[in-house]
Structure 1
Amino acid sequence: MPLTALSPAETARTVAKLRLTVGVEEEFLLLDPETWLNAPRADAARAALDPAMHERSEIEFRRSMMEMVTPVCGDLAELRRRLRENRIAAGAAAEAVGARLVAVAATPVGEPDLEVVDKPRFHAIARHYGPIAYDPALCGFHVHVGVPDRELAVQVCNAIRPWLPVVQALTANSPFHAGRDSGHASWRTIALERWPSCGPSPYLRSLDDYERVVAELVASGVMLDASMVLWWARPSLRWPTVEIRVGDVCPTAAETAVIAGLARALVSTAVAGIAAGFEVVQPPEHLLRAAHWNAAHAGVGGTLLDLRTHAARPAWELVEDLVALVGPALDRHGDRSLVEDGLFKLRGYGTGAQRQREAGSLHQAMAALADATVTE
């Protein structure tokens, strides 16, 4: 019987027995190595990739951005290898055209060329949304976790909402804007709030409800079309996955693999909860948005909002709660050691935002980050 013929709970009971697949899309900036201004050389850099790596690259909205995509992976060690392959190849291609590939989530200095890439869809987006489409480039990373049923994917997105601010805080990697410290750990998140379809996904009762809401938002003009669902978690439009989009691009492949493993475990835990009929926590929308804003502002350097209790708590306490919650899923996928070791290191040396601020100057921060992008 096709999974789509089953109820979400019945499907979840089948999926909960599986080791879920994972894949990652990462967005990077091309920066001038002297000024650290954005360098509009993506077309030339993509042309410098060998054919196999060119297949793993995607055209992005801005001329200073490169996106690299991993194959579907079964374990985190494989995912980390693929991430490093992508970064090394893209880094070499960037250097071949006089730029540095940098895993930083917001334009740190400035973007002299604000034109979008010359594609009909990108021009349509720019016409529809106006000046916000010409904001300096922003880079995230998207984790795709295999969930072979869109009805179940909607329920998973409901279940993981209270924990996505914690994931977001762990990835904070964009403190600089216009050459200065923005005061936020993730300026990318703050800047993306100008886009009306970004942010936490609404609570949706079913796939039919999802499709109704999207159709209404398209009719309202908030979304240009159904592909403009830019929520922090969504059923993927292209693949049989839940796509988690909340994170800043991470400084290193190792950190990306850790966060991807945590995200996979969170999805797997949600599936198990749906199979068991557990009640889903539904935080008030104002607190959910507040939790994301605070995660972007503070990262893991302060407190985060516990959306189960509506109380502020030390960030790392909530990270520990999340790891405890998803522990059985980490064990089932063989990921516990890699994820726990990675989080221990992250707690010791700080998020990307913390490390950039400690580098001495913005230029020193970008040089160190460019090196780390392709070596760690």
Structure 2
Amino acid sequence: MTSPIARPAAPAAPFTVGVEEEFLLLDPRTGESMPVAERVLAALLPADRQHSRKEFRHSMVEMVTPVCTDLAELRGHLLTARRTACRAAREAGARLVSVGATPVCERRRSVPDDPRYHAMSRRFGPVAHDPAVCGCHVHVGVPDRELAVRVCNHLRPWLPVVQALTANSPLHDGCDTGHASWRSMQFDRWPSAGPTPHFDSAADYDATVAQLVAAGVMLDPTMVYWYARPSAAYPTVEVRVGDACPTVDDTVLVAALVRALVATAVARVRAGEPAPRLRGCLVAAAHWRAAHEGLCGELVDLRSGGHRPAWELVDDLLAAVTPALVRHDDLGYVLGQLGRLREEGTGAARQRRVLARTGGDVRAVLDHLAEQTTAG
């Protein structure tokens, strides 16, 4: 009998893609986080509110796109959502900023009044009260859950490169942390976060998650915060390794590459190609290096175990997914945006340039980030 995973890939419609973006609400004068999320969400029109979500901090809002099939459509939804949320933030006296971690400080760290959030606060204590962090989560349609689990295995060597591309949180407590993605350092304090383990099947995945819930590491299966996972809510593979990106085009670039990675992984699974078996400690080391360096140094090449310049690994990723980019008619856009990224650097590199130019003026960095958030 033919396995449902091993069947040949037939010509099909483009893989669908959707994005969830988390944003901080900052005081325009001081840069401190403002606990006005409820006022911001209330200021949204009903049609826009259905694309928003309450988050784990009073200073955060999340905007989500509909399911999309092409990048122009996705870009339009992202830009509209950002500008809509920005207007609502202004009405609440705040400024919407797309950045990975709290850059100055967050005085009110209590969780919103929600039974689940209160349960998380009781279970995880101070970890649940860290300053807010914001991510960019990309969903790619993979309706077969068995296939989705195996796709996540194939993504493991490449997710540190995606993490490096999105690095956009060098600041914490008003200072440069030395890390390109401080969000990654904070987020990894959660016991259910981090690199996705290798799983032999969906049953293996489910059994492992059930054991972690029983061990108290998670309240329930929705607390799987691994960098890639079969979504608990949608028929997708969700990649959640990246910082919130500074511009819409940064987000669309990441979404295009993630969709191409997933499409490439689907083809490899269906061709019967096994995913590489990687040691968890080495995968964790590769992610730490990506969070520390961004694209400004060397990254761990998980295929060889050595260190190589970050942009060489970006080029390798591009080569690996080019057929999928061509299939989706995304190659031209991705090449153009990678060229821009080579010139401008990651969000973290851009923030550091502003710091250097202004003699360490954090407010100038936040002005820059606010402008980039809604630039079209």
TM class by smaller structure? over 0.9
| Paired residue secondary structure (1:358) | helix
Whole-angstrom distance in 2 between the partners of 1:31 and 1:62: 12
Q: Letter of the 1:9 partner, please give it.
A: A
Q: Does 1:265 align with 2:257?
A: no
Whole-angstrom distance in 1 between the partners of 2:64 and 2:6: 31
Q: Residue 4 of structure 2 is aligned with which of 7, 22, 26?
A: 7
Cα deviation per residue 1:328-361 (whole Å; 9 max; x = unaligned)?
0000001001111111101101110001111132
Match of 2:106 in 1: 111
Q: Letter of the 1:251 partner, please give it.
A: P
Match of 2:233 in 1: 238
Task: Normalising by structure 2, report the TM-score.
Answer: 0.97
Q: Which runs of 4+ in 1 moved over 4 A?
A: none
Conserved? CA contact 1:57–1:66, under 8 Å:
yes
| Paired residue secondary structure (1:328) | helix
1:19 deviation in Å?
1.2
Whole-angstrom distance in 1 between the partners of 2:277 and 2:135: 26
Match of 1:356 in 2: 351
Match of 2:372 in 1: 372
1:22 deviation in Å?
0.1
Match of 1:329 in 2: 324
Answer with 164-173 or 279-288: which moved more. Answer: 279-288
Q: Does 1:163 align with 2:155?
A: no
Cα deviation per residue 1:100-123 (whole Å; 9 max; x = unaligned)?
000011000000111111111110
Whole-angstrom distance in 2 between the partners of 1:278 and 1:224: 35
1:6 deviation in Å?
5.1
Cα deviation per residue 1:251-290 (whole Å; 9 max; x = unaligned)?
0111100110000000000011111112311221111000
Q: Residue 153 of structure 1 is aligned with which of 148, 152, 155?
A: 148
- The share of aligned pairs that are identical, in percent, is 56
- How is 1:86-101 mapped onto 2 (pairs within 5 angstroms)? 86-101=81-96
Q: Residue 71 of structure 1 is aligned with which of 66, 69, 84?
A: 66
Q: Does 1:39 align with 2:44?
A: no
Q: Letter of the 2:136 partner, please give it.
A: F
Whole-angstrom distance in 2 between the partners of 1:193 and 1:275: 32
Match of 2:182 in 1: 187
Unaligned runs of 5+ in 1: none
Unaligned runs of 5+ in 2: none
Match of 2:277 in 1: 282
Q: Does 1:134 align with 2:134?
A: no
Match of 1:20 in 2: 15
Cα deviation per residue 1:39-89 (whole Å; 9 max; x = unaligned)?
000000111111111110001000000100000000011100000000000
| Paired residue secondary structure (2:62) | strand
1:133 deviation in Å?
0.4
Cα deviation per residue 1:175-218 (whole Å; 9 max; x = unaligned)?
00011101100000011111001001110000000000000001
Task: Normalising by structure 1, report the TM-score.
Answer: 0.97
Q: Letter of the 2:282 partner, please give it.
A: L
Whole-angstrom distance in 2 between the partners of 1:66 and 1:46: 8
Conserved? CA contact 1:8–1:155, under 8 Å:
no
Q: Letter of the 1:375 partner, please give it.
A: A
Whole-angstrom distance in 2 between the partners of 1:281 and 1:77: 34
| Paired residue secondary structure (1:329) | helix
Whole-angstrom distance in 1 between the partners of 2:43 and 2:342: 37
Whole-angstrom distance in 2 between the partners of 1:369 and 1:30: 12
Match of 1:344 in 2: 339
Aligned length: 370
Q: Residue 78 of structure 2 is aligned with which of 64, 71, 83?
A: 83
Q: Letter of the 1:365 partner, please give it.
A: V
1:7 deviation in Å?
2.6
Q: Letter of the 1:272 partner, please give it.
A: A
Cα deviation per residue 1:276-319 (whole Å; 9 max; x = unaligned)?
11231122111100000000000000000110000100000000
Whole-angstrom distance in 2 between the partners of 1:296 and 1:200: 13
Conserved? CA contact 1:46–1:54, under 8 Å:
yes
| RMSD (Å), alpha carbons | 1.1
